């Protein structure tokens, strides 16, 4: 009995270690993301690189797109080349190097691209691999599968919640480079936690490859990589000859490649002799759902770009709040923090420290004389999304438990909510064009998008697993993440048309989304899913 308790205890510690590692990786990623756009287009006098805002937005979007594209390859490296633990460690080291390069105040564009290269590869290696390690932590027939992934996802969103608040404050109030350095420190701590607790999750051959590359496959991989490199080099050469070798065209090329890749893969699967007629029919349905998800992520992932630009110039970020209303707001926020901290991922010491800080904060608000002057840091708006996700998840989990909505209905509905959010943010831009508008419009807009996310994100992987042909299940799980990659690739092109006063930007996206969601809803309702 003692031995069994010891095994359970080790698994619990392993789960906490993996969750904390991923939480710190997401803290590093979303913290960097909260200040990266500002760093790129702020003037040199303000500590930035002084890029054109449109170009900065395109670079930001294509970076996010390629990060998700690389994540689809990270699982392959883990399964067939390095093994889970080495892949996570190597990925974390690359992320640390990338953040440290950004933290050096060189103010040179080439250092930005080198750092983003390290961050892209590192994120691609670490993110999918550590998720797999959580899945392998317990036996396949363990009843705690839902619990361990709930804890893991909580860690991701909690890290995403804190990052814009802490790193954003450091980056915008002191120095962008200090903010990036804080992201590097967070990843160093995460790497130490991961390595120190490695014995707690060293099972299922996590130190070794689960499906090592055979000698005869090495030649095929080398040939493929060489052909890809030659094709890319020839494309760049053609662009140079035609006087079109510039950053804007390179981003466009990468966007096209990113959009094409998953559909080429879908073609290979549906035409494969290993795919049955029933699976082929389900794949056609899945492609429609994939398009819905890509459109949704295209809108959702505009938040750190479009919303960041809006709050920089169009929202009133400083205002006075009545003392008693301030106390009520504080109690609500304290209640949310108390609820979030009261999770098994945190130990008792952390909980006690947080509770003491909340009590001190309450006493301060109670003893404060007069109204409160609130000033919202521009980066803090990026914390709204993970906060809503943390609040909505248990609510929607209870709703789905009683009556689960089919993917053919929920995906178009998620698209519809995302499209409506564009029409909502349109209202203050139209009616307050002469001045600044309340930040509550931003909160409402992001909240509507998050409701849409509840109809797509939680069931995306399960739908992928259900519709994937049996011979392609593992690969299809990675393809799902490419829906986000496509959304951001498209963003890298359409954000070029965004400006704070461009009413047609949100109107066009919103109306196209509403029409497309209705069309998808009608089409998917006529589809029969083979079981």
**pLDDT tens sequence across 388-430:** 888 887 777 777 666 666 777 888 898 999 999 989 888 888 7
- Among residues 40, 100, 71, 94, which one has the least CA distance to residue 488? 71
User: Which residues face 372 on adjacent strands?
Assistant: 321
Catalogue the E-assigned strands of 33-77: none
- Angstrom distance (rounded) from CA 88 to CA 104: 25
Predicted local confidence at residue 102, as pLDDT: 92
User: What are the residue ranges in the chain where pLDDT is below 70?
Assistant: 1-12, 135-150, 198-212, 316-317, 319-320, 340-341, 343-350, 372, 374, 400-405, 432-435, 461, 471, 473-475, 477-478, 527-531
Beta strand 372-375 pairing with 318-321: antiparallel
Report DSSP letters for 378-421, one per residue. GGGGGGHHHHHHHHHHHHHHHHHHHSPPPHHHHHHHHHHHHHHH
- Among residues 246, 302, 253, which one has the least CA distance to residue 491? 302
Burial of 423: CB neighbours in 10 Å, binned 0-12, 13-18, 19+? middle
Predicted local confidence at residue 115, as pLDDT: 92
- Among residues 25, 120, 136, 41, which one has the least CA distance to residue 84? 136
* pLDDT tens string 442-498: 888 999 999 988 888 777 767 777 777 776 766 676 678 888 889 989 988 888 888
Task: Assess contact for 510 and 452: CB atoms under 8 A.
Answer: no
- Angstrom distance (rounded) from CA 323 to CA 335: 18
Examine domains 1-200 and 275-317+387-530 and report if their fold is the same: yes
Task: Assess contact for 393 and 311: CB atoms under 8 A.
Answer: no
Q: Which CATH number fits domain 275-317+387-530: 1.10.3720.10, 1.20.1250.20, 3.40.50.300, 1.10.1060.10?
A: 1.20.1250.20
Q: Which CATH number fits domain 1-200: 3.40.50.720, 3.90.1150.10, 1.20.1250.20, 3.10.300.10?
A: 1.20.1250.20
Predicted local confidence at residue 6, as pLDDT: 47
Predicted local confidence at residue 19, as pLDDT: 81
Specify the DSSP class assigned to residue 320.
E
Phi/psi for 315 (5° steps) reads -105, 150
What residue spans define the domains of the chain? 1-200, 275-317+387-530, 318-375
Task: Count other Cβ atoms within 10 Å, centred on residue 208.
Answer: 12
Give how far Cα 88 sits from Cα of 81, 94, 129, 195, 233, Å. 12, 10, 7, 10, 30
Predicted local confidence at residue 404, as pLDDT: 63
CA 389, 391, 392, 394 torsion-angle sign: positive
Predicted local confidence at residue 2, as pLDDT: 47
Predicted local confidence at residue 180, as pLDDT: 93
């Amino acid at each position: 009995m003692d031995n069994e308790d010891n095994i359970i205890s080790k698994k619990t510690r392993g789960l906490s270690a993996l969750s904390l590692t991923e939480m710190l990786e997401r803290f590093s990623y979303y913290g960097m993301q909260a200040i990266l756009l500002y760093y790129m287009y702020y003037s040199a006098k303000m500590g930035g690189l002084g890029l054109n805002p449109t170009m900065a937005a395109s670079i930001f979007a294509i970076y996010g797109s390629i990060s998700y594209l690389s994540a689809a390859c990270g699982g392959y490296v883990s399964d067939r080349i390095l093994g889970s633990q080495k892949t996570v460690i190597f990925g974390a080291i690359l992320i640390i190097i990338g953040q440290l390069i950004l933290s050096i105040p060189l103010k040179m564009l080439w250092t930005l691209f080198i750092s983003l290269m390290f961050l892209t590869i590192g994120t691609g290696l670490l993110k999918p691999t550590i998720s797999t390690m959580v899945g392998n932590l317990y036996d396949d027939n363990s009843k705690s599968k839902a619990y361990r992934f709930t804890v893991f996802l909580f860690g991701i969103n909690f890290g995403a919640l804190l990052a814009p608040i802490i790193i954003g404050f450091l980056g915008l109030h002191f120095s962008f480079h200090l903010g990036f350095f804080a992201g590097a420190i967070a990843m160093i701590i995460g790497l130490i936690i991961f390595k120190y607790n490695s014995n707690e999750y060293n099972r299922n051959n996590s130190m070794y490859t689960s499906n090592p590359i055979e000698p005869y496959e090495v030649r095929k991989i080398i040939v493929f990589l060489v052909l890809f490199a030659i094709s890319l080099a020839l494309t760049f050469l053609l662009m140079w000859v035609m006087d079109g070798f510039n950053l804007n065209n390179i981003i466009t090329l990468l966007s096209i490649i990113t959009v094409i890749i998953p559909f080429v893969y879908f073609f290979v699967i549906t035409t494969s002799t290993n795919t049955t007629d029933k699976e082929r029919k389900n794949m056609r349905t899945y492609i429609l759902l994939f398009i819905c998800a890509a459109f949704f992520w295209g809108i959702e992932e505009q938040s750190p770009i479009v919303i960041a630009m809006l709050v920089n110039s169009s929202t009133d970020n400083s205002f006075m709040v009545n003392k008693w209303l301030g106390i009520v707001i504080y109690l609500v926020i304290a209640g949310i923090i108390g609820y979030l901290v009261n999770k098994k991922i945190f130990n008792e010491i952390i909980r006690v420290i947080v509770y003491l800080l909340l009590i001190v904060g309450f006493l301060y608000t109670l003893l404060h004389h007069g109204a409160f002057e609130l000033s919202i840091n521009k980066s803090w708006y990026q914390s709204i999304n993970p906060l809503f996700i943390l609040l909505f998840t248990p609510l929607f989990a209870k709703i789905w438990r009683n009556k689960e909505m089919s993917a053919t209905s929920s995906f178009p509905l998620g698209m519809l909510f995302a499209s409506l959010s564009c029409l909502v943010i349109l209202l203050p831009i139209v009616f307050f064009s002469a001045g600044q508008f309340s930040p509550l419009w931003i909160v409402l807009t992001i909240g509507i998008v998050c409701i849409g996310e509840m109809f797509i994100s939680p069931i995306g992987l399960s739908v992928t697993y259900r519709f994937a042909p049996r011979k392609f299940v593992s690969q299809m799980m990675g393809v799902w993440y490419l829906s986000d990659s496509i959304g951001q690739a498209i963003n890298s092109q359409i954000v070029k048309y965004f400006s704070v006063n461009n009413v047609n930007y949100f109107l066009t996206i919103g109306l196209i989304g509403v029409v497309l969601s209705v069309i998808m809803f009608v089409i998917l309702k006529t589809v029969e899913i083979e079981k």
